[in-house]
Homo-oligomer: A and B are copies of this chain.
Amino acid sequence: MLKTIPSIINSELLTILAEMGHGDDLVLCDRNFPAASVAAETTSGALVQLSGTDTTEAARAILSLFPLDGFVPVAVRRMAVVDDHAAVLEVHRAMQDVVDAAEGRAMEIEAVERFAFYEAAKQAYAVVRTTEARPYGCFIFKKGVVFD
């Protein structure tokens, strides 16, 4: 527990967020994602398990500390719905609101086909698994720069 740090961000997650630099990716996923096996292939190999938290709440806390990359057209990716690539689910709309609010502007969230998403996730720095119950609640955030 620290002043100004949201309480759901434990020391393990805080360490990972701080270790990451510009361009590093963080996976934030639901309870069905193959989080442990994907995490094992990431740069740090770390799987942070945030029980009792969904992706919306976790993202709101993480993005209060973690800047999204403003150097690329798309700093947030999500898993696309299988057989319905254009579908935008409630879990995705909720995340859109969180990322827009965190950055203070309209952000693009790119849908990525399921198996391509797994491959992209393995290139990340670490994986954060929530107990998100809504399907397709799987996201990749690219870290940006702190200017001040």
Query: Which A positions have Cβ atoms within 8 angstroms of B?
Result: 1-5, 7, 10-11, 14-15, 17-19, 21, 64-67, 145-146
Contacts and interface: CB of A to CB of B under 8 A. Distances in A.
A146 B5 CA distance: 10
A3 B145 contact: no
Contacts of A15: 11, 14-15, 18
A4 B4 contact: yes
22 contacts: A1-B18, A1-B21, A1-B145, A1-B146, A2-B17, A2-B18, A2-B65, A2-B66, A2-B146, A3-B66, A3-B146, A4-B64, A4-B65, A5-B18, A7-B146, A10-B18, A11-B15, A11-B18, A14-B14, A14-B18, A15-B15, A15-B18
